Structure 1
Amino acid sequence: MEIVRKPFPIPGTPDKDVCLVAIGDIHGRYDLLRKAIPCIRKSLPQDAKQVDLVLLGDILDRGDAAIEVIDYIREGIDDWNIIPILGNHEQLLLRVLNASDAAYRPTWRMWRGNGGLSTLENLQIEIPPIADISAASHKKALIQALRQERIDYIQNFYPFYRSGSILCVHAGVDPQKTLEENFSSDRLSQHPRHWAWIRDGFLDHDGPFPEGVFVVHGHTVIPGPKLEPHRIGLDTGACLHGVLSGAIFFNHEMTIFQVTSD
């Protein structure tokens, strides 16, 4: 099933002639992403000269087809600009791949226990138990299973994407800092107010955000897209509830769309 709501005005707009499409956390639901694409095509404004498709992070883990999602977006969709944002789940994987031998095992266990197991099963390549081989050998096997071209692609995911006054980010921003300060932090930091992890201080912030941006984010699952004065969250639990949500921004209007597994 697909639902496309009527456009309504918001206090923000992408760059002139740009249609910005943002999709919430996919979490390996390749089936829902494939259903969303024709829904988007039908809903694009005719006078848009450029389409920026922003994936709001957490593309990997939990679902059963994360690798298919990665390969699909790597290949490109129509003539759209594909802009994948780094989510905390991609960040957890990159921390594994960048870990020292001493830190590798606990970093691996953290990723694997937070949804990484689904991505590993999706690879259909059995990696030897970590207790049976060295950390260096285990990492080598993981890299071979993932393939270097996929790793390189994930390494280059964006921390954020901004078009006009629309700011797309995975979890949010710390409103007590400038945007430059927010995004100058280490990409792989797990600080609770990092842009890939923040909830407290962002979700309960009612005022405007730095530079007057309208923030489009995922990370925190909500029953349905809920518009706040200066932000909207689009993670509606693709894995938990079978609902993938997104929004189309053009001029000063936003159009919400959803696809479900029903």
Structure 2
Amino acid sequence: MQTYAIGDIHGQFHLLQRAFELIEADRSREGLADSPVVVLGDLCDRGPHSASVIGHLYDRQAAGENLIVLKGNHDRMFSIFLDDPFGRDPRLRAEFTWMHPRLGGPETLASYGIREPANRPTAQVHAEALAAVPAAHRTWLARLPGSYRRGEAIFVHAGIRPGVPLEAQTEDDLLWIRADFLDDCRDHGALIVHGHTAINTPIHYGNRLNLDSSAGYGGPLSTAVIEGRKAWLLTEQGRLPLG
């Protein structure tokens, strides 16, 4: 039972296209045509082509591909803005808004053709965003699941609250948790495959696998294949064992 996973994309559409090419090459070599692909969230923000990323993944799902797209904290912040331009994600630090340069909201809006989103009245920018983002994409984005389990792996964006069953996890933790999860070395009953915390290269820690290799900061987009609790990074030269 093998599953493909793609880390945090952050608007890097060309990297996403290459990730799917690596998956198709691996499927061809290994005969894994039916194996699902799980995208670990953070489709948008920071990178230049969030609209293309969202549209591409929406279209692939609509075409019936075996594709699971999880919600990331940046995706939730985008949805909150579309619902209420003055709304705030409850887990966002008080000194930030989604429109802060460090969060990347303006880049997402610019990818939809919104002119100077950070330097114009919020209400006006919001009205233009509602006109620019297809209603079907908006609904799809808001309804993305927070987790997916297959075999011995649990796929989430940020992590899990240790000691809490998957069905009892809160969306806040699945999308935002850091230290309480990252610093916990216990076995979670499954390999937790996640992103959210940017590192230089994917690392398998035994109890978890972090696939956020900093695409949102100019790094690569990592794609892996997971079998049981083992994982391999997909590269131009083929599979590279992780852990």
TM-score range normalised by the length of the shorter chain: 0.7 to 0.9
Q: Distance in 2 between matches of 1:119 and 1:229?
A: 35
Asked if 2 retains the 8 angstrom alpha-carbon contact of 1:127 and 1:141, the reply is no
The number of residue pairs the alignment matches comes to 226
Q: Is contact 2:46–2:217 with CA below 8 Å preserved after alignment? A: no
Q: CA deviation at 1:169?
A: 0.2
Contact 1:50 1:80 in 2 (8 A): no
Shift of the 152–127 alpha-carbon distance from structure 1 to 2, 3 Å rule, reads farther
Partner-residue secondary structure (3-state), 1:61: coil
Whichever residue aligns with residue 23 of structure 2, its letter is I
SS where residue 215 of structure 2 aligns? coil
Q: Superposition pairs for residues 60-71 of structure 1, below 5 Å?
A: 60-71=44-55
What TM-score do the two structures reach when normalised by structure 2? 0.83
What is the RMSD computed on CA atoms of the aligned residues? 2.5
Which sections of structure 1, spanning at least 5 residues, go unmatched?
Answer: 1-17
1:89-238 paired onto structure 2 within 5 Å:
89-99=74-84, 104-105=85-86, 107=88, 110-113=97-100, 114-126=103-115, 132=121, 135=123, 139-182=126-169, 185=170, 187=171, 189=172, 194-209=173-188, 212-238=189-215
Aligned to 2:93: none
Residue type of the alignment partner of 1:154: L
Q: Indicate conservation of the 8 Å contact 1:234/1:246, yes or no.
A: yes
Structure 1 residue 128: Cα displacement: 7.6
- Larger RCO, structure (CA 8 Å, separation 6 or more): 1
Query: Match of 2:218, as an amino acid?
Result: H
Deviation digits for residues 27-72 of structure 1, max 9, x if unmatched?
A: 0101111112121111126343622111101010100011111111
Moved over 6 A (4+): 127-131
Show the 5 A alignment for 1:38-53.
38-44=21-27, 46-48=30-32, 50-53=34-37
Counterpart in 1 of 2:58? 74
Identity %: 30
Under a length normalisation based on structure 1, what TM-score does the superposition of the two structures give? 0.77
